[in-house]
Structure formats: structure tokens, C-alpha cells
Amino acid sequence: MAALAPPVIQELGGARLHLSHGPIDVVLKAWGTPEAVRAAYAAACRRFPGILPELCDELAMLRTPMHEHPRVESPVARRMVDACQPFAGVFVTPMAAVAGAVADELLAHMTAAAPLLRAFVNDGGDIAVMMAPGHRLDIGLAGEYARGAAAIPRLNGAIRLEAASGIGGIATSGARGRSFSLGIADAVTTLAPAAATADAAATLVANAVNVDSPAVLRRPARELDPDSDLRSMPVTVSVGPLTPTEVDAAIAAGLARALEFRQCGLIAEAALMLAGLTRTLGAAFPMSHARAQIAV
């Protein structure tokens, strides 16, 4: 394996911190006293350089399907396996939770270092969050919509989280994301107690947003990436114009999967976006018990 380049750590505007190392690209922010924020940032900077080497050392196991019982040792790898274990009834590997697990790990070190009022760790759209009692976070919800050959992201709603919500993670997945998808969703966003759980759930709900259609082009994952953890499974390459019936069927399949996950207590809410339509569990089914809602 080629030697890893050193991580890059830099300050951004708005009192944010940017941490980058290979495929890991994190933006984080904390609120609190100046001393607490400095301590939290220092803790994140100490932990960050070791994460990618640890994951590389266990990459073969992390690409192993959960039904084959991957065994790992490093903290982030254990977070990935633990997050995916409840979903082992369908094909999933620990890689489905990698970005969320990294975010959870950094946030855990930040909050252990100092008492914070609020914080988020955003790893490429998979976000670990914390709010002290009486504080909240407002997070924009983006979807992607094809216009000709381009995918144009746009703000499609907002999420308001309070400490009482029990939400610790938000994740988004879809056919237009950084990783391969078995489905055709423009985007699926899930809310869960941890970012790693939200990451795995978003991946699997996005996989379920699917329909057989001549407008969908698929290829075996390993034809596109010989190292893909999805092996020879057909992944989505492109999605052409769909009929309204196809869109409704695909979203209904995804909602059924998301509802299953919510009934098991794995997620609190989900928003599914396809071809300009957005559906949430809150809009499709009664959800009076939830204290965190996605507004679209």
C-alpha cells in the first residue's frame, strides 16, 4: 500500500475547523466558552491523524458483509460494525457506516474534552451532532435534481434539532452520492441516535428506493471499482426520465424500508427525494411521538 499523505488541518471562517486526510473530509464546529471550544478542537486534532491508518489496516474486514461476521479492533471500525449489525438481515458491509462513524468518533473526543453547548462534525454530509439542554441546531436538507447532464443540488428543507430529540446523527445517501448505490434515489436523509446508524440506514433506504425500468442503467460494482465492497451487485450508473408510476413505486418501496427501520427503533425520521418529489415518514404515517421532524 502506498504511504499515506499527512492530514491537513486548517481553520475556516465562522470558527469552523477543516480536517482532511485521503477520502476523509470533515468540517466541524463547537459552541461554548472559548476555553471549552479550544479544548474540543485540540481533542479532535489529536484524534484525527490516526483514524485513516487504523481503517486502512482493517479494510479487508470492513469490506466483508455483515452476515460473514467481520471482526475488527480499532474504535472507528468497531463503531462501523456495531452500527451495521442491526441491519444484517439485508446485504450490508461496515463500509455503509464509515463516514458517520468517523463523525461520531471525533464528536465523542470533543465532548469528552470539554463541556459544550452545541457541536457538529460533518463528514461529507454525514453529521454527528450534540445539543445541551436549551440549545438547538438548524440544519439544511439538500436534494439533487438532474437538469440535462448536470445534477444540481438545492436546499429542499430544514431540520431543527433540540437536545430532547435524542438525535445524534444525520446522514444522506443516494445514487448521486460519493459511493455506489443499488437504488435510484436522488437523496435519502435519515435521523438516528448516532451518525453511524444514520449513515447505514440512509444507505439501505436509498438502496430500497428502486424500480425496474429501462430508464435505469446498472453495472456490476466491480466493473466500476475492482475493490468495491458491493462485489458483483448491480449498482446504479444513471437514471433517465421516469414515469410518475415508476417514481411512486420507487418511493413507496423506500418508505416501506424506512418505516421498518423506525419501527425497530433504529431511526427517528427519513426524507426520500426522487425526480423532484420528497416524502417523509412524518408525512406518510402518523408520527406524533417524534420530537425531531424534517420540514420540507
CA–CA distances in Å: residue 126 to residues 6, 67, 225: 23, 24, 23
Percent of the chain with pLDDT over 70: 89
Q: What number is the average pLDDT over the span 87-113? A: 96
CA-wise closest residue to 296 among 131, 159, 117, 162: 159
pLDDT of 248 > 90? The answer is yes
Contact 271, 293 (CB under 8 A): no
Who wins on pLDDT, 156 or 154? 156
Specify whether the backbone of 167 is left (phi greater than 0), alpha (psi in -120 to 50) or beta: beta
Q: What is the pLDDT of residue 156?
A: 55
Phi, psi of 150, deg, nearest 5: -105, 150
- Residue 289 is predicted with a pLDDT of 35
Which band of pLDDT confidence, cut at 50, 70 and 90, is reported for residue 179? confident
C-alpha cell at 229: 465492497
Mean of the per-residue pLDDT values for the chain?
A: 89
Domains and CATH numbers, the chain: 8-295 (3.10.520.10)
Mean pLDDT of 41-49: 98
One-letter amino acid at 129 equals V
Q: Residue 295 is which amino acid?
A: A
CA distance 176 to 192: 22
Bigger pLDDT: 283 or 128? 128
Q: Strand 150-162's sheet: what is its strand order?
A: 136-147, 150-162, 294-295
Is residue 158 scored above 80 in pLDDT? no
Select from 166, 25, 206 the least CA-distant residue to 102.
25
C-alpha closest to that of 52 among 16, 92, 19:
19
The phi, psi pair for 107, rounded to 5°, reads -65, -40
The CA distance from 221 to 219, in Å, is: 6
According to DSSP H, which parts of the chain are helical? 34-57, 59-62, 75-84, 98-113, 195-208, 221-224, 244-263, 281-284
Q: For the segment 55-65, what is each residue's pLDDT rounded down to a tens digit? A: 999 999 999 99
**pLDDT band, residue 138 (cuts 50/70/90):** confident
Give the whole-angstrom CA distance, residue 107 versus residue 116: 11
Three-class secondary structure of residue 8 per DSSP: strand
Q: Which residues pair with 23 in a beta bridge?
A: none
Kindly tell me if the per-residue pLDDT of 178 is higher than 90: no
More confidently predicted of 152 and 42: 42
Lowest mean pLDDT among 115-119, 213-217, 282-286: 282-286
Residue 35, C-alpha cell as written in the block = 476555553
Cα 272 from Cα 267, distance rounded (Å): 14
Residue 149 pLDDT more than 60? no
Task: State the virtual CA torsion across 103, 93, 249, 177 in degrees, nearest 10.
Answer: 50
For the cut 60, the answer to whether the pLDDT of residue 77 exceeds it is: yes
Instruction: Please give the model's pTM, rounded to 2 decimal places.
Output: 0.89
Task: Report the 10 Å Cβ neighbour count for 33.
Answer: 12
Share of the chain above pLDDT 90, in %: 73
